[in-house]
Structure 1
């Protein structure tokens, strides 16, 4: 694995390895790691971000990497410089990896095919968001320790959700049962997963993952029916009361409280929303460490054997 751009093409062994690696960083009392070698990475964010950008920065610094500051509004991007030329420039001056978020679907994949350094997808339009998926998978792993036949219900704005895509692909690879619930106009039938009735599926789901209404991607952004959305398609207190005792609630955030989910459920006992954010640092550490320290891992195998347990299939 030279880049990390899509969950759709990853094998069960590759995903399992990264989950185990995330677990080591989350469990270790000495998770801040550095090989002692000065390494530079940069984060190219062409779209706004709080959780993803900040957790990448924390992950990079905990690994001992130097983060090259990049701000789109104060760069040659405003002069018309292409994504490739920007990334190539950054690689030429010493960056060893590029983390990129871009509004255009497939832009990250194209960049990965052009650069000689690792490219990490931090979200590409309505395409994929693989590091968000990894932290979501780890959240489920911590809860259930196994994915086979796990019932995962993803509910909300499916057609605009890169999170839904990455999670659906990865969970199917790991053996979980994935279903979608959505208002008809937000369904994406190019995805080969069943659509179910939310009120029926809520009672058998092990994981209920709500998705943010992405008004910025809607052509009719002013009329998303937010006043009635919670009652028709969101997680109300009544629906939560019919969930299985051990089932958990997830959301990639930011959360529109009282739209996708009732406000009182965001931090309820079965909610893992803020745990997901915590695990995001460890998941991104796992990806960065794997891509940038792979040579050291091969060269110093005995050392890394003490850091990472052997990967077993889930």
Structure 2
């Protein structure tokens, strides 16, 4: 395994293919650990992982907490609703408070873009060795979700040893509220870096033309070109797709009426069994959750284990987040401990 040099994980925009491969290999090792009767390893024993979640979360928070505990780390959980923020304390004050308690890794989620980066800069300014991991910031990015999606897709194509080469040339359609989705942005970076052909599909109000500019950005450590296509109709994105990822309509982030109605959205962009017939016969379906049943996709598709990867995504999330905590928590990781 190549040495890991990254101190923080804040964005996938500057991730190289070699870094993705390191994450995939490490996550694969931890996935095997999680199949054992004793699912705990002492890798981060003595370290403190603090989850600073300034907005609600179920899957991401629980996944990170379990991942930290599986690595034998001590955990501190921060909840904004019961914190001193309501008394005037700033976000950086909060971070410094948990630094004083001995935090080694801070996993940060916030509704505003840039907060994890600000905390990382503050930790560096103070001369600490604290690592910061972005667990979702505003409409910016959600690196760990995209990495677990990448691991899930690669595992389907190449179960024995998931790698980027497994999905080179595969067509992946991302459908839904792309405008407000930090998951979509991170997935664009990771999937195009892997050589997948990514097709975005949504109504024009939820998919601005500027998303096409992602295709013009370089892939760090590679001479390849990002393969990204934008559609305002569903059919071209689904045609011969190997994987389809649907995204939740984030109505809480919509400051204006961007859709005529949920019924109209489902009629034009909702996934049904009939619509998936345009895809490859072996097509698989992903969704980062939570799902609006009957809006983004039909319930029967969600529960069809021959098509849906939604539950494997959740399961893989623990292994991938174990890998991320391990990589930034260990100085120079050599291999997943036995």
| TM-score, normalised by the number of residues in structure 2 | 0.85
**1:48-197 superposed matches below 5 A:** 48-115=56-123, 116=128, 117-145=130-158, 146-191=166-211, 192=213, 193-196=228-231, 197=233
Shift of 1:31: 4.6
Secondary structure of the structure 2 residue equivalent to 1:195: strand
CA contact (8 A) 1:8 1:169 kept: yes
Whole-angstrom CA distance in 1 between matches of 2:57 and 2:336 = 35
Shift of 1:83: 1.4
Whole-angstrom CA distance in 1 between matches of 2:210 and 2:88 = 33
| TM-score, normalised by the number of residues in structure 1 | 0.91
Equivalent in 212, 227, 234 of residue 198 of structure 1: 234
State the match for 1:284 in structure 2.
Answer: 321
1:36–1:109 distance in 2 versus 1, CA, 3 Å:
closer
1:77–1:224 distance in 2 versus 1, CA, 3 Å:
farther
Secondary structure of the structure 1 residue equivalent to 2:169: coil
CA contact (8 A) 1:126 1:162 kept: yes
Give per-residue Cα distances to partners, 1:62-93, cap 9 Å, x unaligned.
11011113221222111121211111221122
Whole-angstrom CA distance in 2 between matches of 1:63 and 1:12 = 26
CA contact (8 A) 2:45 2:71 kept: no
Establish whether residue 2 from structure 1 lines up as the match of residue 10 from structure 2.
Answer: no
CA contact (8 A) 1:236 1:261 kept: yes
Q: For structure 1, which segment, 118-127 or 104-113, has the greater mean C-alpha deviation from structure 2 after superposition?
A: 104-113
Whole-angstrom CA distance in 2 between matches of 1:184 and 1:266 = 26
Establish whether residue 253 from structure 1 lines up as the match of residue 261 from structure 2.
Answer: no
Q: For structure 1, which segment, 250-259 or 77-86, has the greater mean C-alpha deviation from structure 2 after superposition?
A: 77-86
Establish whether residue 27 from structure 1 lines up as the match of residue 40 from structure 2.
Answer: no
Q: Which runs of 5+ in 2 are unaligned?
A: 1-5, 159-165, 214-227
Whole-angstrom CA distance in 1 between matches of 2:22 and 2:243 = 22
Whole-angstrom CA distance in 2 between matches of 1:305 and 1:195 = 39
State the match for 1:46 in structure 2.
Answer: 54
Equivalent in 23, 34, 57 of residue 18 of structure 1: 23
Establish whether residue 271 from structure 1 lines up as the match of residue 308 from structure 2.
Answer: yes
Whole-angstrom CA distance in 2 between matches of 1:35 and 1:210 = 35
Equivalent in 257, 261, 278 of residue 242 of structure 1: 278
When the two chains are superposed, the root-mean-square deviation of aligned CA atoms in Å is: 1.7
Q: Which runs of 5+ in 1 are unaligned?
A: 308-314
CA contact (8 A) 2:9 2:133 kept: yes
